[in-house]
Amino acid sequence: MPNPQITNALTIDVEDYFQVSAFAPYIERSEWDSRECRVERNVHRILDMLAARETKATFFTLGWIAERYPHLVHRMVREGHEIASHGYGHERASDLDEARFYDDIHRSKAILEDLSGMEVQGYRAPSFSIGTGNLWAFDCLEKAGYRYSSSIYPIKHDHYGMPDAPRFAHQVRSGLLEVPVTTVRLLERNLPSSGGGYFRLLPYPVSRWLLRHVNGSDRESAVFYFHPWEIDPGQPRVEGISRKARFRHYVNIDRMESRLEQLLQDFQWGRMDQIFLGQPAPQRVAHA
């Protein structure tokens, strides 16, 4: 069994199926408002699941979603979860210059704070898109008032990754912490062990072993992530996508919810801010 003294961070990237980066070549942003939106029902299902287990989590939420479904943000806060930023419109940090990136993270932070009444301290770049080529993004995050980022994946991947980055929480700017999603170090390489498509692809006992290894051998809290669309096998199928994109998005999507139920039972989970910033209670935003 995992060490009961170690609490892992459960994180949800709140975006809808048509907003994922892999679908960007196939779905124009101008189409988003005309697509069937499934995020509302899926987030409510996740919140119900967490409530049943008395588990708290961090919701990295798009400003675009929050504006259209403010009641989701209200429920997250009411039930004791952390609201963090996933940017406004799911644009990769690596696709933006400094000015546009700052505008994006400042805009999303303001929207989420206005809706939640809580200070937004965390940020996760869409598709883990902070890496060696845009470390200036940390300067922007510090300037915008964030206290932590979870935007680096220390693996080698065709869409993202910074395999030589530190595997665990570390300070990147004064007052700004980077908390990478979790990897396991085996055979001189970092193996993904923190959720997403890998969690759906690998047999559940393998994922459980990887997380237990981090808790037991590294003596560190793991950071696990998933998306609301991953528990929704009934979502509309996007036509014309590549074979690779189809496999990555839809593999074992019908098994995801039951695996999450098992994950909640097998490990102790909590919020990013309380685990890595050591905050006992949420901080309210002071409005003029």
More confident residue, 256 or 157: 256
pLDDT of residue 196: 87
Instruction: Lowest mean pLDDT of 147-156, 168-177, 254-263, name the range.
Output: 147-156
Task: Compute how many other C-beta atoms are within 10 angstroms of the C-beta atom of residue 49.
Answer: 16
What average pLDDT is seen over the chain?
93
Which two tokens mark 66? 């929050």
At 157, the pLDDT band (50, 70, 90 cuts) reads: low
Determine the pLDDT at residue 279.
72
Q: Is residue 217 pLDDT above 80, yes or no?
A: yes
Across the range 194-211, mean pLDDT stands at: 93
Q: How confident is the model at residue 161 (pLDDT cuts 50, 70, 90)?
A: low
CA distance 32 to 287: 32
Residue 11 has pLDDT above 90, yes or no: yes
Architecture of the structural domain at 8-276: Alpha-Beta Barrel (3.20)
Coil vs helix vs strand at 213: helix
- What is residue 284's DSSP assignment? B
Q: What is the residue-wise DSSP string for 98-118? A: HHHHHHHHHHHHHHHHHHH-B
Per-residue pLDDT, 2: 47
Tokens at 193, concatenated = 């062990």
Mean pLDDT over 167-194 rounds to: 91
Q: Give SS3 for 96.
A: coil
Helix (H) or strand (E) holding 30: none
Cα–Cα distance between 202 and 195 in angstroms, integer? Answer: 10
Residue 119 has pLDDT above 70, yes or no: yes
Reported pTM:
0.94
- pLDDT level of residue 203 (50, 70, 90 thresholds): very high
Q: What is each CA distance from 123 to 1, 20, 103, in whole angstroms?
A: 31, 17, 14
pLDDT greater than 90 at residue 286: no
Lowest pLDDT segment from 10-19, 84-93, 204-213, 238-247: 238-247
| Least confident piece of the model among 8-17, 204-213, 241-250, 263-272 | 241-250
Residue 194 or residue 143, greater confidence: 143
% the chain with pLDDT above 70: 94
Answer yes or no: is pLDDT of 6 > 60.
yes
What's residue 191's pLDDT? 84
The band of 1, judged by pLDDT with boundaries at 50, 70 and 90, is: very low
Q: By CB neighbour count within 10 A (0-12 exposed, 13-18 middle, 19+ buried), where does 13 fall?
A: buried
**Residue of 207, 211, 213 whose CA lies nearest to 222:** 211
Kindly indicate the confidence band of residue 189, based on its pLDDT and cuts at 50, 70 and 90.
Answer: confident
Q: How confident is the model at residue 188 (pLDDT cuts 50, 70, 90)?
A: confident
Is 89's pLDDT higher than 50?
yes
The encoded tokens of residue 16 equal 């809808």
Strands 183-186 and 176-178: unpaired
